[in-house]
Amino acid sequence: MAAVASRRGSRRRAMNEINMVPFIDVMLVLLIIFMVSAPLMTPGVVDLPSIGQAARKPDTVVEVVLDKDEALKVKVNGKADTSDGERVRITQLADKVKAIQQGSADVPVIISADKGVRYESVVKVMDTLQKAGVARVGLAVRTTGA
């Protein structure tokens, strides 16, 4: 039995330690590569917008209001344009907005639709304005019908 016990004691045990030397060698090689290649890289040019024009509120804002019953109304600076009455047809919308803009493409147009309006109607209004050459068209969501 003594021979059996001595054979068990001479068996090699598995190592439970992690050998860190190869890991450190790889990290040092990567560090050297990055240190050599970093000065050779050219930085890209980023064009940032200037804050001078973005902070300024536009003088005139045209708002096209699309109600729950899909009736169109045009407001200028938040006030209803009452020269031709409140409601505007989709066929007259482009001419009315162009008349309000008076040839200035900088005047923004905001489409304000009630949340119950079908998306198809909003897209139709956007398409009508874009075909008429209105450059700045934005969207707004209204939660109440006013």
The ranges assigned to domains in the chain are 58-142
Name the residue with higher pLDDT: 70 or 10. Answer: 70
Chain segment 94-115, per-residue pLDDT in tens: 888 888 888 777 788 888 888 8
For the record, the structure tokens of 2 come out as: 């003594």
The confidence score (pLDDT) of residue 30 equals 97
pLDDT-based confidence at 4, cuts 50/70/90? low
Burial of 56 (0-12, 13-18, 19+ CB in 10 A): exposed
Res 90: pLDDT: 84
| Separation of alpha carbons 80 and 98, rounded Å | 16
pTM score of the predicted model? 0.55
CATH class of 58-142: alpha beta
* CB-CB neighbours of 15 under 10 Å: 7
Confidence of residue 42 (pLDDT cuts 50, 70, 90): confident
